[in-house]
């Protein structure tokens, strides 16, 4: 079997060690000859990189490993770029969350004004990665899960329509892991699903077992009582704030009991509840900096100090194996059915053909072939029209440097009560994002 060369872009990410351990766990299905890392923060990447070098030497010495901040070095001789950058890192995420909250509006990484602000920072960073890939490894594919994926995907559609970039999100996977547990199935892959929406904004319309039996009634009964809370949970979303989100899915489900919702819909359908339950001084970014970031960097420091990864508490990011499924689908033409963020192009027949939607696709060596979803109900269509307009206006604002369009984008968000609140938030965000956003006229 061919052995692949992988570049992890955003090498300094808190997810990098878990993903490397996951790749090592999957070498039989997806052989690897080389892993490289790329980041624009040399110091942050070196802390993760030096630990990963030790870990790889001990567990898979045959794999070549290096890390670099130089595009040519990093992007040369690569088959797959796995991209998870966070432009502005956690201090900017903290502002994305706290600035809207100061104005009484949802403060969230990817939803509402915080997501728009993050999008305005991410577009340039992700486009740079694509340019590097196309210059130094023109045959490579990029598997991108850098957020905010909805806005990033729309930007790649507008600016890089012919590039080999696949945009993917792990939230439906995390929820499907929980669904399988609720149903007593061994794996989420025992379910045959139909899902549609935008990224962080979607619904399951059908879930069946492999024999074709309808699993929706049993799931709905559970979700109506407990949301997606169940005994075991998924490996990615374990903190208390995530548990609240899974429980709140009960109320989100009640608004449309014909489908099962993505957890992120709570920010759009219950923004008042979310704001009331937020701490303006201590948001999710603070939780992550005090939790995951301290843990991962602390463990990496220990590995380097002890010169061994024996006894490390770093663990395999099991749920990230969807990245291997996606790479395998491209490399080995497996034709696996996966949820990807792709141009609608008629798949949802009564929705904007140019919208980037999250829908099931059959993935093979030529890329994704989206499945037909058909017509969607008025409720979902109305919500999606509004949200996709936020995303498209944000990308237009970035391309044109337009203050007016970004104000319209924020005004359009269901999380924002009025154009005047939108303007006040926008002016604060512009100040906070100096040097990251294009200059708006």
CB 291 to ligand G6P: min, Å: 8
Radius of gyration of the chain from Cα atoms?
21
Strand pairing category for 336-343 and 356-364: antiparallel
CB 291 to ligand NAD: min, Å: 11
User: Judged by CB under 6 A, which of 82, 166, 171, 347 binds ligand G6P?
Assistant: 171
**284 interface partner picked from Mn ion, ligand G6P, ligand NAD, none, CB below 5 to 8 A per type:** ligand G6P
Is 170 a residue of the active site?
A: yes
Residue with tokens 């059915």: 337
Q: Which is nearer to ligand G6P, 99 or 288 (CB)?
A: 288
Asked if 100 touches ligand NAD (CB under 6 A), the answer is no
Return d(Cα 186, Cα 161) in angstroms, integer: 39
Residue with tokens 């939230």: 171
Strand pairing category for 165-167 and 141-144: parallel
Q: Which is nearer to Mn ion, 23 or 169 (CB)?
A: 169
**39 interface partner picked from ligand G6P, Mn ion, ligand NAD, none, CB below 5 to 8 A per type:** ligand NAD
Q: Does the annotation flag 344 for ligand binding?
A: no
Q: Which residues, 17 to 46, sit near ligand NAD by CB under 6 A?
A: 39-41, 44
Q: Going by C-beta distance under 8 Å and a sequence separation of 6 or more, which residues neighbour residue 41?
A: 12, 69, 89
Asked if 395 touches ligand G6P (CB under 6 A), the answer is no
Asked if the peptide bond before residue 351 counts as cis, ω within 30 degrees of 0, the response is no
CB 150 to Mn ion: min, Å: 9
Asked if 15 touches ligand NAD (CB under 6 A), the answer is yes
Q: Does the annotation flag 188 for ligand binding?
A: no
Q: Going by C-beta distance under 8 Å and a sequence separation of 6 or more, which residues neighbour residue 179?
A: 188, 191, 207, 215, 219, 228, 260
User: Judged by CB under 6 A, which of 288, 316, 357, 410 binds ligand G6P?
Assistant: 288
Q: Which residues, 278 to 337, sit near ligand NAD by CB under 6 A?
A: none
| Active-site option among 264, 267, 268, 322 | 264
CB 320 to Mn ion: min, Å: 12
What b/e sequence results for 136-164 when a residue is b if at least 16 CB atoms lie within 10 Å of its CB, and e otherwise?
bbeebbbbbbbbbbbbbbbbbbbbbeebb
3-state SS, residue 395:
helix
Is 136 a residue of the active site?
A: no
Burial degree of 247 (CB within 10 A; 0-12, 13-18, 19+): middle
Beta bridge partners, 196, equal: 203
**12 interface partner picked from ligand NAD, ligand G6P, Mn ion, none, CB below 5 to 8 A per type:** ligand NAD
Task: Please give the residue ranges that form the binding site for ligand G6P (CB under 6 A).
Answer: 109, 147, 169-171, 236, 284, 288
The site for ligand NAD (CB under 6 A) is made up of: 9-10, 12-15, 39-41, 44, 84-87, 89-90, 125, 145-147, 149, 169-171
Provide the annotated active-site residues. 170, 264
């Amino acid at each position: 079997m061919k052995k692949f060369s992988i570049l992890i872009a955003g090498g300094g990410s808190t997810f990098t060690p878990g993903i490397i351990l996951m790749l090592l766990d999957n070498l039989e299905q997806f052989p690897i000859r080389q892993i490289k890392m790329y980041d624009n923060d040399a110091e942050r990447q070196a802390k993760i990189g030096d630990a990963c070098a030790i870990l790889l030497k001990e567990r898979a010495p045959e794999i070549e490993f290096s890390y670099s901040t130089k595009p040519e070095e990093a992007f040369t001789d690569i088959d797959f770029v796995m991209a998870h950058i966070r432009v502005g890192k956690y201090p900017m995420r903290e502002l994305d969350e706290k600035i809207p909250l100061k104005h009484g509006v949802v403060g969230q990484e990817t939803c509402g004004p915080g997501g728009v602000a993050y999008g305005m920072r991410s577009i340039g960073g992700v486009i740079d990665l694509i340019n590097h890939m196309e210059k130094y490894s023109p045959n490579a594919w990029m598997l991108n899960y850098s957020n905010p994926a909805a806005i990033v995907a729309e930007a790649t559609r507008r600016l890089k329509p012919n590039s080999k970039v696949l945009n993917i999100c792990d939230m439906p996977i995390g929820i499907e892991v929980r669904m399988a547990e609720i149903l007593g199935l061994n794996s989420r892959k025992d379910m045959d699903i139909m899902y549609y929406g935008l990224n962080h904004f979607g619904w399951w319309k059908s879930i069946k077992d492999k024999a074709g039996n309808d699993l929706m009634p049993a799931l709905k009964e559970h979700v109506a009582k407990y949301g997606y809370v169940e005994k075991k949970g998924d490996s990615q979303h374990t903190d208390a704030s995530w548990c609240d989100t899974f429980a709140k899915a009960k109320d989100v489900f009640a608004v449309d009991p014909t489908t099962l919702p993505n957890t992120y819909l709570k920010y759009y359908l219950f923004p008042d509840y979310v704001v009331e339950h937020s701490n303006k001084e201590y948001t999710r970014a603070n939780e992550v900096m005090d939790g995951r970031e301290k843990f991962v960097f602390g463990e990496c420091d220990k590995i380097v100090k002890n010169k061994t990864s024996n006894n490390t508490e770093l663990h395999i990011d099991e749920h990230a194996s969807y990245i291997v499924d996606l790479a395998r689908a491209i490399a080995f033409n497996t034709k696996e059915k996966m949820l990807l963020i792709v141009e609608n192009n008629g798949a949802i027949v009564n929705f904007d053909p140019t919208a980037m939607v999250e829908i099931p696709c059959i993935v093979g060596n030529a890329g994704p072939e989206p499945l037909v979803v058909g017509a969607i109900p008025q409720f979902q269509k109305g919500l999606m029209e509004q949200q996709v307009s936020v995303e498209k206006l944000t990308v237009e604002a970035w391309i044109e440097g337009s203050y007016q369009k970004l104000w319209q984008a924020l005004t359009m968000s269901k999380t924002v009560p009025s154009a005047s609140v939108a303007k006040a938030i926008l002016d604060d965000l512009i100040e906070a994002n100096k040097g990251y956003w294009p200059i708006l006229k």
